[in-house]
Copies of this chain bind each other. A is one copy, B any other.
Amino acid sequence: MQSNQPQHPFDLATQLTQQQSGVYSGHTSNDYANMVGPFGGVIASTLLRAVLEHDEILGEPISLTINYAAPIQEEKFNIIAYPSRTNRSTQHWYIELKQNDKTAITGTAITAKRRDTWSSTELAFPDVPLANEVTLTSLENAPPWAQNYDIRTIKGVPLAMDPTEQPDSVTLQWIKDKPNRDLDFLSLASMCDAFFPRIYVRRKSFVPIGTVSLTIYFHADSKSLENNGSQSVLGHTRALKFFNGYFDQTGEIWSHDGNLLATTSQFVYYKE
């Protein structure tokens, strides 16, 4: 980043101040507020950033699980991150976010040095129009965090936005940061959570929801992410089951030119 450019709101939102090795302080960002508390995607990215900025990090992120244990207040927080185990080519991390000395978020991550191997993508890239051929989705009534994304929905907007009955909860959307920002592990992690909750695609009634756990597998290295630059990535997601208060949201993020960058799943609490 050149010194004469202002920092992107996303970088400010995930910014941490290191107190000592693996101990950070940070503050929630109004830009990425959700209905209640901060947007979970930016929280996940902030915990991942605590790993990426750790002085003992080995390699690049390959896996991340974030557990949303309690609501986060819009104020300062502390994060600790430490390697639970360091091997020759992999490293396991524990991460925790606290507010007022109480645990609000827990997480585990794996970083690794990758090597060139036989590779293969089995999943087919969805048959979709290019991002610039899809109408920008109006997000006027969406929470603040959504205002920081350029989202172009091909299929499956929440029913409040398009009350056409939906037989399934599938969403296909092009998404990129607004203003433009080159893709990296942090923004990719956040975009894995930037789907609207599946229950709002299936049902028109507004019910309280909250992600309890989010898992991301990174199928790309930093070079693959750099190749995407600031172009839109394609998100594809669906729920497999809603049962007595919890549903899954299972998805994939593809680069603009059809490289599968991440697969993700989350488990979401819902009321009624």
Q: Give me the interface of A with B, judged by CB distance under 8 Å.
A: 62-63, 65, 67, 69-70, 84-85, 87, 90, 92, 94, 96, 102-104, 106-108, 110, 112, 114-123, 168-169, 202-203, 212-213, 215, 217, 219-221, 238-246, 248, 250, 252, 260, 263, 265, 267, 269-272
- The answer to whether A212 touches B118, judged by C-beta atoms less than 8 angstroms apart, is no
Cβ–Cβ contact B63 & A217, under 8 A: no
**A106: chain B residues within 8 A (beta carbon):** 84-85, 92, 94, 108
What residues of chain B lie closer than 8 Å to A240, measured between beta carbons?
121-123, 219, 252, 260, 263
**B69 and A119 contact, CB distance less than 8 A:** no
**Contact B110–A108 (Cβ < 8 Å):** no
List, in ascending order, chain B residues with CB within 8 A of A213's CB: 63, 65, 108, 110, 215, 217
CB distance from A268 to the nearest CB of B (A): 10
CA distance A122 to B168 in the complex (A): 7
Q: Is the interface of A mostly helix, strand, loop or mixed?
A: strand
- Contact call A270/B85, Cβ cutoff below 8 A: no
In whole angstroms, what is the CA distance A215 to B239 when docked?
16
Asked if residues B119 and A243 are in contact (CB atoms below 8 Å), the reply is yes
Which one of B118, B123, B267 contacts A62 once the chains associate, using CB atoms below 8 Å? B267
Write the nearest CB–CB distance from A267 to chain B, whole angstroms: 5
Q: Which of B241, B244, B263 contacts A123 (CB under 8 A)?
A: B241
Identify A263's interface contact among B122, B220, B221, B248, CB under 8 A. B248
Q: Nearest-CB distance from A240 to chain B (Å)?
A: 4
Asked whether A221 lies within 8 Å of B248 as measured between CB atoms, the reply is no
Distance (Å) between the CB of A85 and the closest chain B CB? 4
Are A62 and B246 in contact (CB-based, < 8 A)? yes
Judge whether B267 and A63 touch: CB under 8 Å: yes
User: Does B110 lie within 8 Å of A84, measured CB to CB?
Assistant: no
